[in-house]
Amino acid sequence: MTPTLGPRVRPLVPGLAWLADLVLWLAEGAATPVAVPLLSALVCATLFARAAHPVAVLAVHLGWSVCVAQIWHASPLVGLLVALYAVAAGRSLRLSVCGMLLTAAALAAQLEIWSEPLESALFELLAVALAAGGAWALGRRNITLRAEAAAAALRVERLRIARDLHDIVSHALSGIVVQAAGAKAVLSLDPGLAERGLSAIESTGAQAMDEMHRMLGLLRSAGGDDATWLNRQPGLANVGALLDWARDNGLVPTTVVDGEPGRLDDSTSLAAYRVVQEALTNTLKHAGPGTAVTLRLSWGDTDLTVSVENHLGRPLRAGGRLRQGGGYGLTGLRERVTTVGGAFESRALDDGFLVSARLPLARRLDREPVGGPVR
């Protein structure tokens, strides 16, 4: 279930709120000066900022509601309720309850100005309570839906990671079986070769145990199996193909490699690949073709830092943000990176967005580097 309006509908909300209030004023039959619709349009325009600054937007609409009611005897309604909804959906319970009470008070003040009979006033006060309470309840429900969607996405991602780890462990165990058979066959003929085979079994088995512990931890936290399994996934050696895909789709990627490439466990290499994949996909989706992207691989003694920055080539307008990962891709990345013992970061820049992960190198240094070709 989608907890919020679609991206095509959200920009229309301020205009729809203004039209709805205008229709209500016309339906009342009272003489409404031309200044009221014009000023109302300016006030409703603040709803464009309701996601980033809901409290300030609600304060503007509360002030407008009181002023227009006292000066022109008009009754702004829809814009005020939209602002209340934004506060309820994006701020704490205590703050949203205060906003609901202030909204109800502002609407009740409008009813007192009209000096209606007691019976009618009581009926409209009930309507005020239902309107303010309904907008507040819908906003709080939005928080619940977002939390449920994030939890479901995280559970699917955990199961997906567990499947990847299962494939890695299965591959390692297959190698152990082959090495053991080979060592047994040459044990009496070439003890040195058999010893090398047993050393490979020890190293591979230790890695498989590490991966198994990660997988079991994920399965315990996921608590079920309802995801669509994917085939065995690539690793850091396949990042070059991702960069080719980015170029083919109009992005302008640049690669910077610092330090001497080290060794990664298979699951860690897969996590690095996923970081680059998600960052490039989000850049194409939210910034569009022509955006410059910098992939930096910084190899250290104990870890690898994978960072992907995109730049629009111009500053964002005041208060602007280049939003990425509107779904739960970044949440899944954080889970995947944390699973392999790394740290994840994503944040907006002045003219773009940064996705970064610090991943630990393999503790056993008898395996080949997995950096692979990066173009």
- Predicted confidence at residue 362, as pLDDT, reads 82
- Predicted confidence at residue 75, as pLDDT, reads 73
DSSP code of residue 299: E
pLDDT at 297 over 50: yes
pLDDT tens digits, one per residue of 225-257: 443 333 446 789 889 988 988 888 888 999 999
What is the percentage of the chain residues whose pLDDT exceeds 90? 15
pLDDT at 335 over 70: yes
Query: For the chain, which domains are there?
Result: 10-149 (no CATH), 156-222 (1.20.5), 236-360 (3.30.565.10)
> In terms of pLDDT, which residue wins out, 66 or 296?
296
* pLDDT range class, residue 299, cuts 50, 70, 90: very high
The torsion region of residue 12 among left (phi > 0), alpha (psi -120 to 50) and beta comes to alpha
Residue range 211-221: mean pLDDT, rounded: 60
Residue range 130-150: mean pLDDT, rounded: 83
- Predicted confidence at residue 300, as pLDDT, reads 92
Global pTM reads 0.47
Distances (CA, A) of 248 to 104, 165, 233, 241, 305: 55, 31, 22, 11, 26
Distance CA 168, CA 122 (A): 69
pLDDT at 356 over 60: yes
pLDDT tens digits, one per residue of 77-125: 888 899 999 999 888 889 989 988 898 888 877 765 455 565 666 666 6
- Predicted confidence at residue 254, as pLDDT, reads 93
- Predicted confidence at residue 113, as pLDDT, reads 43
pLDDT tens digits, one per residue of 53-64: 999 999 998 888
What is the percentage of the chain residues whose pLDDT exceeds 70? 65
Q: Which positions ≥6 away from 375 have C-beta within 8 Å?
A: 240, 243, 244, 255
* pLDDT range class, residue 341, cuts 50, 70, 90: confident
> In terms of pLDDT, which residue wins out, 221 or 16?
16
pLDDT at 290 over 70: yes
Half-sphere exposure of 359 (CA within 13 A, CB side): 36
Distance CA 185, CA 112 (A): 97
pLDDT at 346 over 80: yes
* pLDDT range class, residue 2, cuts 50, 70, 90: very low
Residue range 316-322: mean pLDDT, rounded: 42
Residue range 7-28: mean pLDDT, rounded: 78
